[in-house]
């Protein structure tokens, strides 16, 4: 089994997937636009070979370079776990007659409007939506859909360049900020709690899934610097108030004809219990949510992904033991972090529950919180009881503070 991974060293979770595929028994080959020496050691040690290209975004050149790569075998699978490279992976599959999503089946995962149109046809509840290419389109569709509404890039990932617009005045203020975005989706704002539905699939069959809860929903967290965003991977994914989201997740996988690999879906639960689709990517969630899945069940999702994609088997014994909360921190002020308060309190009270301390150290330059959810680091904590998990997550959010200057 020879697996080609596009960009095995970036983003930060990719070396773990590269390692997981190699540990599953596959021969893993990589292609990327950075030198082999620049890859993290975890990725380098897992690769059977690596091809550096000048750019991953000149797709015809990449395909030609692969055809000329004499060291490489015939590839059995081609995978990309990074949103911008999804269509490149599909084009390589077509060029080399490799199984997996082709360009036509990949397109809805990269085009939010095409995605929603296909799900509408399948009877899945999506927000009311329109594709807008001009400011005039935005004004017209805003009146048609009604306020409040959401503007987001057609091919975006996460909540970057995503805005809630409450009225005409806010629309007038937001539109200039989106001039660099060729197409946007103008859609109904769905007021509700936001969750994920993350899967590993084998030939369209879901063999593992995870549900995580955003506290608060990402759009609010991205709009308020003082918030310490939380993501909680839930232990009890079978509780009654999640069943609608689970069914929707299964229906979405079927409607979009996903085959083998990992997916990340987001959905809303309104106050009246109605569930509404958000979006889905044919990729893993970011911000270390795969690690949350590992800590929730004491398994290795990276390896099971590799085994599922390469050999059609998922072998982990999934026992959901813990809720796992990740609390992302943002320092107050700008410059270098010079002080941290409350860390000793958190350690004394919850130290046994901390599974990963990723907080930046004093002296580190502060990160741009608008560009990364990870911000200035995080604590990852776990506990079997959800109420206790929420209590310790809120304690970190409120009482652990970082200062920069």
230 membership: H or E segment, kind and range: strand 230-233
Q: Determine the 3-state secondary structure of 321 from DSSP.
A: coil
Which of the four pLDDT bands, split at 50, 70 and 90, describes residue 162?
A: confident
Alpha-carbon gap, residue 391 to 20, rounded angstroms: 33
Sketch out the chain's domains with CATH numbers. 2-100 (3.40.50.20), 128-188 (3.30.1490.20), 192-404 (3.30.470.20)
User: What confidence tens digit (pLDDT) does each residue in 281-310 have?
Assistant: 999 999 999 999 999 999 999 999 999 999
User: Would you give the distance in Å from CA 210 to the centre of its chain?
Assistant: 13
pLDDT at res. 44: 97
| E strand segments, 7-158 | 27-32, 47-52, 77-79, 129-132, 149-153
Residue 28, beta-bridge partner list: 3, 47
pLDDT at res. 158: 59
- Per-residue pLDDT for 372 more than 90? no
Average pLDDT value for residue range 312-337: 97
Residue 268, beta-bridge partner list: 194, 276
pLDDT at res. 317: 96
- Per-residue pLDDT for 160 more than 90? no
Write down the pTM of the prediction.
0.93
- Per-residue pLDDT for 157 more than 80? no
Task: Note the helical H segments in 229-372.
Answer: 243-255, 289-297, 301-311, 343-350
């Amino acid at each position: 089994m020879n697996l080609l991974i596009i960009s095995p060293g970036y983003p930060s979770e990719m070396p773990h997937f590269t390692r997981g595929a190699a540990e599953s028994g596959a021969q893993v080959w990589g292609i990327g636009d950075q030198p082999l020496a620049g890859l993290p050691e975890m990725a380098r040690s897992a690769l059977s070979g690596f091809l550096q290209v000048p750019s991953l975004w000149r797709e015809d050149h990449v395909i030609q370079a692969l055809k000329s790569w004499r060291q490489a075998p015939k590839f059995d699978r081609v995978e990309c776990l990074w949103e911008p490279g999804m269509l490149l992976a599909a084009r390589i599959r077509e060029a080399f007659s490799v199984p997996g999503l082709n360009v036509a089946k990949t397109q809805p995962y990269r085009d939010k409007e095409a995605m929603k149109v296909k799900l509408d046809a399948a009877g899945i509840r999506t927000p009311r939506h329109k594709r807008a290419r001009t400011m005039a389109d935005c004004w017209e569709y805003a009146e048609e859909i009604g306020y409040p509404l959401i503007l987001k890039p057609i091919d975006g990932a996460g909540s970057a360049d995503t805005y809630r617009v409450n009225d005409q005045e806010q629309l007038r203020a937001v539109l200039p900020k989106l001039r660099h975005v060729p197409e946007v989706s103008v859609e109904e704002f769905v007021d509700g709690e936001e969750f994920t539905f993350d899967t590993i699939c084998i030939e369209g069959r879901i063999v593992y899934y995870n549900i995580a809860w955003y506290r608060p929903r990402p759009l609010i967290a991205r709009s308020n610097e003082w918030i310490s965003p939380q993501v909680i991977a839930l232990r009890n994914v079978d509780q009654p108030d999640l069943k609608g989201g689970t069914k929707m997740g299964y229906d979405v996988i079927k409607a979009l004809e996903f085959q083998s690999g990992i997916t990340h879906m987001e959905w809303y639960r309104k106050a009246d219990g109605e569930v509404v689709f958000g979006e889905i990517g044919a990729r893993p969630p970011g911000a270390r949510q795969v690690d949350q899945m590992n800590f929730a069940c004491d398994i290795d999702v990276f390896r099971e992904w590799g085994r599922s994609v390469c050999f059609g088997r998922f072998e982990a014994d999934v026992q959901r033991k813990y809720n796992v909360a990740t609390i992302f921190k943002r320092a107050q002020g700008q410059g270098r972090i010079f002080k941290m308060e409350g860390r000793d309190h958190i350690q004394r009270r919850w130290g046994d529950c901390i599974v990963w301390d990723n907080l930046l150290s004093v002296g580190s330059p502060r990160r741009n919180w608008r560009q990364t959810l990870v911000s200035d680091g995080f604590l990852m904590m776990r506990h079997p009881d959800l109420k206790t998990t929420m209590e310790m997550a809120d304690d970190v959010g409120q009482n652990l503070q970082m200062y920069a200057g």
